[in-house]
A = this chain, B = another copy of it.
Amino acid sequence: MATLKEVAKKAGVSITTVSRVINGSSKVNGETRERVQKAMIQLDYQPNRVAQRLRASSGQSKLLGLIIPDIQNQFYSNIVRGIEDVTYGHDYAVILCNSDENPNKERFYLEVLKSESVDGIILPPIHQFGEEIESIIELGIPIVCVDRKLMRKKVDTVVIGNEKGGYDAVSHLIEQGHKKIAILTSSLQFSSFDERQKGYERALKENGIEIDKRLIKEGDPRSSETARELTDELLSLDSPPSAIFATNNLMTLGVLESVNKHGMQIPDDISIVGFDDLPWAKAISPPLTTIKQPAYEMGQKAAELFFQRVENPSREPEVVIMEPKLIVRESTAKLVNAQVKDTE
C-alpha cells in the first residue's frame, strides 16, 4: 500500500506538501496540487488510519468503541445498527465487544478500547456505579450510556421511559379485566428492569390491586430458559395468573414456550404482553401485544450524542428519554367470565 512518502517522491515534493493537499490544511500552489493529486491516484493512495490515529489528538481517531451485553440479543443488535448507520456517515470505524453482563469482560474491553485510542465508548453500563467507567470519563474519553443509566456521574445517556412502559403494559391488562397479573423481571439488577417493575407495581396500586409476591418472578434476562421455567411455576400455582408481563424479548420467548407446552391458548386461556417489538412479534400467531422500544433510534441518538460531544467537548451531558409504545395485537384479550369465576 502506498504511503505519503511514495506519493511525495512520485510528485517530486515533500511529504508535508502531500499531507497539505490531502487535508487542505493550508494553501498549496494549484499546479503542485494537481501533480500531487495525480500521483495519489496513480498509486491508489489511501491514508493509513493507524498512523493518523497515533498522531491524532483526542477526538480525531475516527474510532468508536461499543460494549454490549450480547449481540445475539436482537434488542442490542438493533441498537448497534442504529449506531453504525450514524458512524458510517462520519467515516468512523466501530469496535464491537460483548460483555455478557460480566464485569470482568466489561473491564477487559474498557482497557482494550482505551488502548485502541477510541474517540468514545457507547455502552449499557453493568453497574450503576461503574468505577472503571468513571475513570475513563476522568480521562476525557466521551462515554454515552444507552439503555441503562449511570448514577454517580452525569453522562450523555439514552434510555426509554421504562417505568411508563411497565405501567402501560400492566394498565392495558387491567383494563381488560385482569387482576392476577404476573411479571417476569431480571434477577440481575439493572435500572431498566427495576423501573419496569416499578411501573407494574404502580399500575396495580392505582387500580387497588394488591401486589402478590408469588406473581413476581426474577429470571436471567440473557436467555429464555429461566423465564420458561418460571412460567412453568406460575402456571402450576393454585390460582395461576390470567396474564403475564415479560420484561424483555428473551423472557417473552420463554413465556411463550412454556404456555404453548402447557397447551394453553393465547389469549383465551392467558394473556401475554412482551417487551421489545421484534420482527417475529407480529408474524406469530396470535400476533404479540408488546411494549416497543425504539432500539434502532436509541442507537442513532446515542451516536449523535457522541458526535455532538466530539464537536463540543464541554457541553452539558444530556439525558434523552425516548418513549416506549404499547402495541396492542392479539395476545391480550378481555378476561372472560368463566375464568373470572375460576380464579376469584
CB distance from A103 to the nearest CB of B (A): 15
Pick the residue among B66, B74, B116, B287 that contacts A50 (CB under 8 A): B116
Q: Determine whether A22 belongs to the interface, using a CB cutoff of 8 Å to chain B.
A: no
Q: Determine whether A188 belongs to the interface, using a CB cutoff of 8 Å to chain B.
A: no
Q: Mark A56-80, 1 if CB is under 8 A from B, else 0.
A: 0000010000100011101001101
B-side contacts of A115, CB under 8 Å = 46-50
CB distance from A310 to the nearest CB of B (A): 18
Q: Determine whether A257 belongs to the interface, using a CB cutoff of 8 Å to chain B.
A: yes
Pick the residue among B114, B254, B278 that contacts A46 (CB under 8 A): B114
Q: Mark A103-146, 1 if CB is under 8 A from B, else 0.
A: 00100000111111100000000000000000000010000000
Q: Mark A253-288, 1 if CB is under 8 A from B, else 0.
A: 110110010000010000000000011101111110
B-side contacts of A151, CB under 8 Å = none
Restricting to A3-53, which residues have a CB under 8 Å from any CB of B?
46-51, 53
In angstroms, Cα B287 to Cα A178, docked, is: 27
B-side contacts of A53, CB under 8 Å = 50
Question: Which of A88-96, A209-217, A300-308, A335-343 lies at the interface?
Answer: A88-96
Q: Determine whether A158 belongs to the interface, using a CB cutoff of 8 Å to chain B.
A: no
Contact assessment for A95 and B95 in the assembled complex, using a CB-CB cutoff below 8 Å: yes
Q: How many copies does the complex hold?
A: 2
CB distance from A292 to the nearest CB of B (A): 15
Q: Determine whether A182 belongs to the interface, using a CB cutoff of 8 Å to chain B.
A: no
Restricting to A284-327, which residues have a CB under 8 Å from any CB of B?
284-287, 296
B-side contacts of A74, CB under 8 Å = 72, 74, 77
CB distance from A134 to the nearest CB of B (A): 15
Among A1, A260, A285, residue most surrounded by chain B Cβ atoms (within 10 Å)? A285
Q: Determine whether A168 belongs to the interface, using a CB cutoff of 8 Å to chain B.
A: no
Contact assessment for B283 and A254 in the assembled complex, using a CB-CB cutoff below 8 Å: yes
Contact assessment for B260 and A280 in the assembled complex, using a CB-CB cutoff below 8 Å: no
CB distance from A199 to the nearest CB of B (A): 24
CB distance from A225 to the nearest CB of B (A): 10
Of chain B, the residue at the smallest CB distance from A47 is B115
Contact assessment for A139 and B280 in the assembled complex, using a CB-CB cutoff below 8 Å: no
B-side contacts of A266, CB under 8 Å = 285
CB distance from A281 to the nearest CB of B (A): 9
B-side contacts of A77, CB under 8 Å = 71-72, 74, 77
Of chain B, the residue at the smallest CB distance from A296 is B72
Contact assessment for B95 and A94 in the assembled complex, using a CB-CB cutoff below 8 Å: yes
Q: 8 tightest A-B contacts by CB?
A: A96-B96, A280-B280, A253-B283, A257-B283, A256-B283, A284-B284, A49-B115, A260-B285
A-B contact pairs, 16 of them (CB 8 A): A1-B114, A46-B111, A46-B114, A46-B115, A48-B115, A50-B53, A50-B61, A71-B71, A71-B77, A71-B80, A74-B74, A77-B77, A256-B283, A260-B284, A284-B284, A285-B285
Residues of A within 8 A of B (CB): 1, 46-51, 53-54, 61, 66, 70-72, 74, 77-78, 80-81, 84-85, 88, 93-98, 105, 111-117, 139, 224, 250, 253-254, 256-257, 260, 266, 278-280, 282-287, 296
